[in-house]
Structure 1
Amino acid sequence: MEASVKTAGFVLCLAAFLGVTLPANPADADELVRFESVPAKLSPLRIRKAAEQGEILAQPQGTPLQGYLSRPEGDGPFPAVVVLHGCDGMRLSVKELWPKRLVSWGYVVLVVDSFTTRNITDACQSSLPDRVFDAYGALEFLSKSSFVDAQRVALMGFSAGGTATLEGTKIEGNEQLMDHKFRAAVAYYPVCAATQGDATVPILILTGDRDNWSPTERCRKRLARLSDDSPPIELNIYKGTYHDFDAPEFAVGRKVLGHIEKYNPDAAPKSIRSVHAFLRKYLLD
């Protein structure tokens, strides 16, 4: 109980520091929920070859996952945001601050925990699971909730979660195999694929010009490849800013694997305002 009180107090202090208005009594805030990633579908070619050879294919299974669900007061249906954490797992700003901020704006929030059920603690020096399927599993879960408008759900990711966000919304990617689709996407300091090209939904990318973990040049190159038919991709680059610049728990700054992670009190609120306006434009207007 004492630890919970201290955590809650820290969150309130951070919220006050950032000027975030938190709802007094959000319904079912931080409810632990369980769902599965969307199983990878067998390709038509694989199914046809199996039939020709008389092979019986096992039905692909999803990975059991857990997540944290927060929602505004009321019956809804509300627009929603699926949140993907970075390679270091569920840090405070992703698990606590962003959900409370988004709920205060009127969104249901599901933060996907991709690590606990896989017994992963940190994946910054190892390969990550294909978290695109985790994101769509969360979307599938939300689509069955009466208080969520399944036609107005955005995907939002941080660092490696931001990279997965871009992967999950690229044209001719796994998105085309999914029954439910995201409406928009927000990626904080992702690693952009310079050759990726068009997106399936409007995207907002927020990153720092001093971030050598997620180089901005690759994002610029991707935008240069967009066709006239692509949904818009907005790239916000903040000067003098490093990785994790929105996370006040890194106010002192630290170096991880040769990369600097540091909160930026100027860039963070600017980026938050951009996210607020972006989500309002594509989920509310």
Structure 2
Amino acid sequence: MVFRRITTSILTIFLLLGGTYTYASERVTFPSAPVPPSAFKIKQAKAKGITLTPKPGIDITGILFRPERSTPRPAIITLVSGDGLQNSHIQWGEKLASWGYVNLLVDSFGSRGGTSRQDTNNANMFADAYNAYHFLQKQQYVDPDQIALLGFSLGGSSLFSILNKSNPRRPADIIFQAGIAFYPNCDTNIELIAPLMILQGDSDPFNSSFSCDKVSSEAEKWGNDISYHLYPGATHFYDNKNYSKVDGERDKTAPIPFQFKKNHYNAEAHQDSLIRTKAFFDKHLN
């Protein structure tokens, strides 16, 4: 379904988005599994009589948002955009926790000594998501059978591989319940293992809505449970207030964000995305 009009009232926003949980946040570190060599490298080494072994994993860092509840809660793993960990991602983590969800915001670039895709092109978001899943499953405050994904831009695009039924690199014991992709580059002609919601602006200068339109229109053909919402006039990063051109909304102490001139904060689309995100996760996570 494509959403092209925003009619949400202020009262509706208040009723649906008012957080009812107090929460705490902390920096956490969790191990990544050893990285096996590719089939091509194994073949090359074998021809030379060499046996390759997996590379040792690194420590992955992130921010954990945890609602203060005595019973195990559903959890959501957040994958950041290509410009790296931003305040907008942290604000989403705070919002998710206020709704009662454990949120693990994975710092894929910072874990490898960088800040963004531009200076850290070796970040493996797929593996980071799998390792975050295993970390959360071991925590007593997490319901191990109720874990979902949330991704922004590059992180959102990664969901199509992570949730691809034919992905040979996904461990067999990993079963995500749902995913939400913000302004992604959609991968077509794949069968997904979980329901997916796509949120995108029709004025996105980076990722055209064409591929996501196709994913949505062919959802039944591939047996996918897809919700697709296209916001008129919204660009990439439309939920990030640091892209606001309104005086007083942007944090002027922060550096000018990536591609600031081409992208704009859209308050209406942001508020509607909050409502849809909460409703989607409430539906698919117990």
For 1:102, the equivalent position in structure 2 comes to 96
With a CA cutoff of 8 Å and minimum separation of 6, indicate the structure with the bigger relative contact order. Answer: 2
AA in 1 matched with 2:197:
L
The change in CA–CA distance for 1:118 and 1:268 in structure 2 (over 3 A counts) is: same
Cα distance in 2 for partners of 1:263, 1:61 equals 41
State the 1:65 CA deviation: 0.9
2:146 — aligned with what? 152
Report the residue type matching 2:73 in the other structure. Answer: F
Find the aligned partners of 1:33 and 1:166 in 2 and give their Cα distance: 26
> Does the C-alpha gap of structure 1 residues 63 and 196 become closer, same or farther in structure 2, counting only changes over 3 Å?
farther
User: Match for residue 93 of structure 1?
Assistant: 88
- 1:203-227 CA-to-partner distances (Å, cap 9, x unmatched) read 0010000002111111112334445
Contact 2:243 2:260 in 1 (8 A): no
- Distance change >3 Å, CA 30–CA 255, structure 1 → 2: closer
2:204 to 211, 231, 237: 211
Instruction: Provide the rounded CA distance (Å) in 1 between the counterparts of 2:47 and 2:140.
Output: 43
How far did residue 162 of structure 1 move?
Answer: 0.7
TM (normalized to structure 2)?
A: 0.81
For 2:267, the equivalent position in structure 1 comes to 265
Alignment of 1:1-285 (within 5 A): 21-22=18-19, 25-26=22-23, 29-41=24-36, 56-95=51-90, 97-124=91-118, 127=121, 129-174=123-168, 176-193=170-187, 195-226=188-219, 228=221, 230-252=223-245, 256-257=258-259, 260-284=262-286
CA distance in 1: counterparts of 2:257 and 2:46, whole angstroms: 53
1:140-171 CA-partner distances (Å, limit 9, x unpaired): 10010011011111110111111112221122
Structure 1 residues 267 and 36, CA, compared in 2 at 3 Å: closer, same or farther?
same
Answer whether contact 1:243 1:261 (CA < 8 A) is retained: yes
Equivalence for 1:3: none
Aligned to 1:10: none
> Over aligned residue pairs, what C-alpha RMSD do you find?
3.1
Q: How many residues align?
A: 265
Letter of the 2:66 counterpart: R
- Equivalent residue number for residue 8 of structure 1: none
- Deviation for aligned residue 1:104: 1.3
Partners in 2 of 1:51 and 1:211 — Cα distance? 46
- Residue ranges of structure 2 left out of the alignment (5+ in a row): 1-12, 247-255
Please state whether the residue corresponding to 1:71 is helix, strand or coil: strand
* Contact 1:81 1:107 (C-alpha < 8 Å) held by counterparts: yes
TM-score normalized by the length of structure 1:
0.81
| Paired residue type of 2:152 | F
Instruction: Please tell me whether the aligned partners of residues 188 and 206 of structure 1 are also in contact (alpha carbons under 8 angstroms).
Output: yes
Q: Summarize the Cα distance change of 1:82–1:255 in structure 2 as closer, same or farther, 3 Å threshold.
A: closer
Q: Is the 8 A contact 1:114 1:131 kept in 2?
A: yes
**Do the aligned partners of residues 132 and 196 (structure 1) sit closer, same or farther apart at CA in structure 2, a change above 3 Å counting?**
farther
- Equivalent AA in structure 1 for residue 227 of structure 2: E
Instruction: Give 1:177 shift.
Output: 2.8
Identity of aligned residues (%): 32
